[in-house]
Structure 1
Amino acid sequence: MKIQEVIVVEGKDDTKRIQMAVNADTLETRGSAISDETLAQIEELHEKRGIIVFTDPDFSGEKIRKIIQEAVPGVKHAFLKRKDATPDHKGSLGVEHASVEAIQEALRNLYTECLEQPPLIEQALLMQEGLINGKEAKQKRRLLGEKLGIGYVNGKQLYKRLNLFQITPTQLLNALSEIKEEIDE
């Protein structure tokens, strides 16, 4: 599988794992404190080849994703499910622990930011469906993020991410009905 865009990852172990799964170039942020120089490189590469942000499904990965998204609007995003990024042994969660199949799946299901589009989903729908507030809200958001392939976000960020990727109310409700069984267990 050949990827035209440059994949932005956190470190060299992520690069090694990505290159086992696909034929692609990577750019490493070397942590969540992204330098202005690295952001300038990402912006230039985005203009020339396109960028896919592929970070760990954890707090630091989300921080990196947000920094890049604000500095370079319109990038693509690949998301790993937490269970696919968990090592067999104790250690950190990350892309470097994912299987070749999980990486390829994440790269087949990219999301591109839709800039300056009106929101398709309203906060009221998220509240009505128990995704914001409520005893099962966190579990519902986690399962929803996995089902839609958009990663886990807190209640505040869910509205932004769903609308950023132009997820429709129908897609949201269909995904919620599919995960209902898992929530009821």
Structure 2
Amino acid sequence: MEWRESDKVIIVEGSSDKKRVQLVLNEEVEVVCTNGTISQVKLDEFVEEFEDRDVYIFFDADQSGEKLRKQFKRELPEARHMYINKMYKEVASAPLHHLASVLLAANIDVKVQFLEQRVNE
């Protein structure tokens, strides 16, 4: 099988967010981390690297997440923003069924067992 770059990329804050999101994905999506903060140089690299792809922003519902979100809205205005429920605060600590619902709402394919998990609770 030939490897090909995914058309979709999800940008998250940290590696724990990345691991959590990857658990529920059911399609090839690149997940990249900002590692909490991002320099203008790195942001410019992201803009250049992802200009021909569908970019999704998925940050925590806290002050640092909102600060990053504002930077990305300015530099990547075509990116789609996904929001974690404020009651969970962090992508990494949100229930998998919630992550799956948010991703599915953005037309990203998720593993069905995480959607069924919510129904069975």
The reply on whether 1:103 has 2:85 as its aligned counterpart is no
Instruction: Give the aligned partner of residue 58 of structure 1.
Output: 62
Partner of 1:69: 73
1:17-66 deviation digits (Å, cap 9, x = unpaired): 0000114211111113x112321232124322121000001111111000
**Cα separation, partners in 2 of 1:20 and 1:39, compared to 1, 3 Å:** same
Aligned length: 99
Q: Which has the higher helix share?
A: 1
Mapped contact 1:6–1:50 kept (Cα < 8 A) = yes
Q: Which runs of 4+ in 1 moved over 3 A?
A: none
- Cα deviation digits, residues 120-166 of structure 1 (max 9, x gap): xxxxxxxxxxxxxxxxxxxxxxxxxxxxxxxxxxxxxxxxxxxxxxx
Instruction: Output the CA distance in 1 between the equivalents of 2:45 and 2:104.
Output: 24
Q: Secondary structure at the match of 1:82?
A: coil
Structure 2, unmatched stretches of 5+, are 1-5, 107-121
Q: Which has the higher strand share?
A: 2
- TM-score scaled by length of structure 2: 0.73
- 1 or 2 for the larger relative contact order (CA 8 Å, sep ≥6)? 2
Q: CA RMSD in A?
A: 1.7
Provide the residue aligned with 1:16 in structure 2.
19
Given that 1:45 and 1:51 are in contact with CA atoms closer than 8 Å, whether structure 2 keeps it comes out as: no
User: Which structure 1 segments of 5+ residues have no match?
Assistant: 86-92, 111-185
TM-score by length of 1: 0.49
